[in-house]
Structure 1
């Protein structure tokens, strides 16, 4: 495969760019192959076809900065699949996942319709940060009974694909599968794309799309606008988290001062400086 490296390659982890590559009608086959590699690794049967429910359009451009650029699809059997790329940690990912999964599940029915019409909903979160406390880059969750493991319902299926847990230095030569797709998304050096494409021929179209978008002036402007918004949003979230932690530390210090504890003990317990604790005492 001939690679065009005259311009800097854009980052496919940007959700706007991710949807352009995987969520457009002309690249529906790319999404189908990616989904099948994801399900194959989880021991699930492959899909034969999917229907895009919100294919990429010009309305998905980052002018509406509050938009969620996810990908929603339906299988021929009626199962719903939602794929979302998260470049930065917005925190409370567990509750956020359940909230959007429940909206997708409940949104299948109109008033008065039977619960029997509800179909399985699958959420696939691709995360650019570590979320779960293990070393696996692909984790899958279902509803099961604690002691026996028997399933309560197969209608819920949650996938978490964590890109930082991949070793991008180890390109699996001769080995197909999901890991190749995730290395591409993580932004592995294009000099190694050829190996990935040999492992996974379906990746060639995704790579060609990324090459084209990286050279398209309008696409770069939209990408940069979205990238700026995502960075600003991440900074605000991190700032709010740090402010919340500081307020918690101040509250701990106040309570310990009221208990009459030594300043040295309070400094160690709260993480505040000695001058900050003395100012509180004053």
Structure 2
């Protein structure tokens, strides 16, 4: 088996190495500007990394840690998150991450001083390896807070951008027409990109080349590669546990279904037995009444039998 030269940027270890390290700040800045289509004075020129732990009290939980958290030259906070495993309610987690980053800007002293005017905007960017919004066709979606009547954006401090990789269906380099498409291709196909394809892909976008160089396994130390492989193992182990639990749940469901079927069958049998016994008893009464000279109409009235039931014993 041929080992790919380039590692997967979807791996958390690789993702943080490329987009969350001082060494590759230029890649992160380029990526943010490309994804958000920032121009002129809105462009990010520099970033400062912040702690990715959102809540120190529950830092052991994945939910409290983001992949990349930084501020730009204006103090705006930018979260960049890679999400590979499908997770229900991830869009709510995104809002939680953003709100935590927003509220953390004020310490208790500032809150008492009422300095809410100092709060800076929070931008959340997520790349997901599964579909979050099934009703949306486009792989790239931007979400902001708008006035429901005028559509004015009066509340400007939150924005969310999602890239849903399964919706990106350009699988050939010749079909790429924008820098954002090159980034999506990078995330989806980096491990299978050949040197020849890479030359075509790079073109004049040297930062893409830098991103691929950061993924080149020959530029990684043994310790880094071990950590990368451990992350793959962790994901596979989690998937194996999840698959086992699903299989166990299906087996339990089938067993419970069989037991329920047996129970219903037994109850039905008992009911049918009771009804059959009740019918036989009524027929015996009808026979006795016939021998005493009662009319069929009287027997039907007293026993509740049908005319055909009585006819069967005459």
Q: Distance in 1 between matches of 2:77 and 2:175?
A: 33
Q: Distance in 2 between matches of 1:41 and 1:26?
A: 23
Structure 1's 174 and 235: CA in aligned 2 closer, same or farther, altered over 3 A?
closer
Matched, 1:131 2:136: no
Q: What TM-score, normalized to structure 1? A: 0.75
Matched, 1:9 2:15: no
Structure 1 gap ranges (5+): 56-63, 251-270
SS at match of 2:187: helix
Instruction: Tell me how many residue pairs correspond in the alignment.
Output: 248
Equivalent position of 2:283 in the other structure? none
Structure 1's 16 and 35: CA in aligned 2 closer, same or farther, altered over 3 A?
same
Structure 1's 6 and 237: CA in aligned 2 closer, same or farther, altered over 3 A?
closer
Q: Distance in 2 between matches of 1:146 and 1:179?
A: 32
Q: CA deviation at 1:35?
A: 0.6
Task: Answer whether contact 2:217 2:225 (CA < 8 A) is retained.
Answer: no
Higher radius of gyration, 1 or 2 = 2
Q: Distance in 2 between matches of 1:152 and 1:245?
A: 50
Matched, 1:115 2:116: yes
Greater shift after overlay, 120-129 or 92-101? Answer: 92-101
Q: Distance in 1 between matches of 2:148 and 2:243?
A: 35
Equivalent position of 1:266 in the other structure? none
SS at match of 2:157: strand
Equivalent position of 2:212 in the other structure? 207
Structure 2 gap ranges (5+): 53-59, 267-314
Q: Distance in 2 between matches of 1:36 and 1:112?
A: 34
Q: Residue 91 of structure 1: which of 82, 88, 92 is its match?
A: 88
Structure 1's 279 and 42: CA in aligned 2 closer, same or farther, altered over 3 A?
farther
SS at match of 1:151: coil
- Structure possessing the higher relative contact order (Cα contacts under 8 Å, 6 or more residues apart): 1
Correspondence list, 1:1-282, <5 A: 7-40=4-37, 45-54=42-51, 68=65, 70-113=67-110, 114-133=115-134, 134-172=136-174, 175-188=177-190, 189-191=192-194, 192-198=197-203, 200-212=205-217, 216-236=221-241, 275=258, 277-279=260-262, 281=264
Greater shift after overlay, 37-46 or 136-145? Answer: 37-46
Q: CA deviation at 1:41?
A: 7.5
Tell me which protein shows more helix as a share of its residues.
Answer: 2
Q: CA deviation at 1:243?
A: 7.8
Q: CA deviation at 1:221?
A: 1.1
Q: Deviations over 1:212-240 (max 9, x none)?
A: 45764322211111112123334545666
Task: Answer whether contact 1:90 1:234 (CA < 8 A) is retained.
Answer: no
Task: Answer whether contact 1:173 1:195 (CA < 8 A) is retained.
Answer: no
Q: What TM-score, normalized to structure 2? A: 0.68
Task: Answer whether contact 2:6 2:217 (CA < 8 A) is retained.
Answer: no
Q: Deviations over 1:227-270 (max 9, x none)?
A: 121233345456667888999xx7xxxxxxxxxxxxxxxxxxxx
Q: Deviations over 1:125-179 (max 9, x none)?
A: 1101111121211111111122321224110001111111112423256734111
Equivalent position of 1:268 in the other structure? none
